[in-house]
Amino acid sequence: MAKPPNNAKSAPKHKKGAAKKNKSTSSGVNAEDLLRFYRQMLLIRRFEEKAGQLYGMGLIGGFCHLYIGQEAVVVGMMAAANKQDSVITSYRDHGHMLACDMDPNGVMAELTGRRDGYSKGKGGSMHMFSREKNFYGGHGIVGAQIPLGTGLAFAHKYKEDGGIAHAYCGDGAINQGQIYESFNMAELWKLPVIYVIENNRYGMGTSIERASATTELYQRGASFGIPGAQVDGMDILAVKAAGEKAAARCRAGKGPFILEMKTYRYRGHSMSDPAKYRDKEEVSKVRKESDPIDNLRDKLIAAKVADEATLKDIDKDIKAIVTAAAEFAQASEEPDPAELYTDILLEA
């Protein structure tokens, strides 16, 4: 899986099949885990669909970046995480919150800008946090979460708490200079951080080929000596297996690791994206052939882990959770006007 990144000259040319290497079997994953992953991915899918609906109804404002299509990445990575690990990402973040076990009600209520949202309605779609769940946001400046995540790793190492940081960014962010500043310090100081690059092929409307001089993003740490691997981000078991290897290396004090997740988003960059930069066939082909939820569903049935009836029950459960979240998010009141001037500074 891990490719030696040290010799840039031997970097392979773009290989379509590279991502296939991490297709895993379900070895080491029990039926209960598989069903849990299915539930978690489905929760994200249905939650995001509902968010899209609420946006259409004008109940969610501003920017709203949906995670639909990429569910296997964060659910697979969280399957490889320990409780003390910290997670940080950018603005396509609802999936990460749900995968960190944050309450769907609180997330949805933040999307609607209500007082019971995770940030009391003051953060919105892009800015939610949970100290309790070690979720550190929710950041809106492309790439800026990577130095922050590197700092979380610094804190793990300093406090010797055994945790590692999971710092996510997209293929669009990967050309920001501060990411390489972070790579340098992380390897220099052997910080326990996994950089998860969610390569969904488009930074907003610009395809990776039009934005990146080199498109094998797992090699972007090569000049710092950071190993990387390319993973089929549509296959949750491949993600989990890669995440476990990377995490083990970090926990052993060997420094950072880069995982490039080849994934895809079905929806636009944000809600107001007319998606003229890719054709519909491309989207429907991925949906049809590589959907992470359908794939796992097929596996569950083939392995007789679950039958249609069980899966239908799960569907129903998830739908109920999401419906309840949407209702909660509409019933919750707007923040008290007095909240305008709170949470600016802590009492010294």
Partner 1 sequence: MATQILMPALSPTMTEGKLAKWVKAEGDKVASGDILAEIETDKATMEIEAVDEGILAKILVAEGTEGVPVNTPIAVITEDGEDVGDIGVAAVKAPTPAAPAAAPATAAAAPRPSSQPAQEPDYSGPTVHISVREALRDAMAEEMRADELVFLMGEEVAQYQGAYKISQGLLDEFGPKRVIDTPITEQGFGGLGIGAAFGGLRPIVEFMTFNFAVQALDQIINSAAKTLYMSGGQMGAPIVFRGPNGAAARVGAQHSQCYASWYAHVPGLKVVAPWSAADAKGLLKSAIRDPNPVVFLENEILYGQTFDVPDDPDFTLPIGRAKVERPGADVTITAFSLMVGMSLDAAEALATEGIEAEVINLRTLRPLDTDTIVQSVRKTNRLVTVEEGWPTAGIGAEIAAVIMEHAFDDLDAPVARVAGADVPMPYAANLEKLALPTVDQIVAAAKSVCYR
Burial class (CB in 10 A: 0-12, 13-18, 19+), 33: middle
Q: How far is the CB of 15 from partner 1 (least distance, A)?
A: 30
Asked whether position 83 contacts partner 1 by CB under 8 A, the answer is no
Q: How far is the CB of 146 from partner 1 (least distance, A)?
A: 8
- Subset of residues 191 to 230 that bind partner 1, contact rule: CB under 8 A: none
Integer Cα distance of 218 and 239 in angstroms: 14
Other beta carbons less than 10 A from residue 105's beta carbon: 20
Strands 193-199 vs 202-203: parallel, antiparallel or unpaired:
unpaired
CB 174 within 8 A of CB 220: yes
- Stretch near partner 1 under the rule CB under 8 A, chosen from 120-128, 229-237, 243-251, 300-308: 120-128
Count of residues interacting with partner 1 (CB under 8 A): 76
State residue 74 phi and psi, 5-degree precision: -75, -35
Asked whether position 148 contacts partner 1 by CB under 8 A, the answer is yes
Name 146's Cβ contacts closer than 8 Å, sequence gap at least 6.
167, 169, 173, 176, 178, 179, 182, 195
- Subset of residues 244 to 303 that bind partner 1, contact rule: CB under 8 A: 266, 271-276, 280, 287
38 to 77: interface string for partner 1, x by CB under 8 A? -----------xx-xx-xxxxx-xxx--------------
Asked whether position 105 contacts partner 1 by CB under 8 A, the answer is no
Integer Cα distance of 304 and 177 in angstroms: 48
Asked whether position 27 contacts partner 1 by CB under 8 A, the answer is no
Question: Looking at residue 141, what DSSP letter applies?
Answer: S
For partner 1, which residue of 8, 11, 31, 155 counts as binding (CB under 8 A)? 155
- Subset of residues 164 to 183 that bind partner 1, contact rule: CB under 8 A: 165, 177-178, 181-182
What does the block give as tokens for 318? 């998830």
Helix (H) or strand (E) segment spanning residue 180: helix 177-188
Closer residue to partner 1, CB minimum distance, 213 or 346: 346
Helix (H) or strand (E) segment spanning residue 136: strand 135-138
For partner 1, which residue of 121, 170, 203, 243 counts as binding (CB under 8 A)? 121
- Subset of residues 310 to 339 that bind partner 1, contact rule: CB under 8 A: 330, 333-334, 337
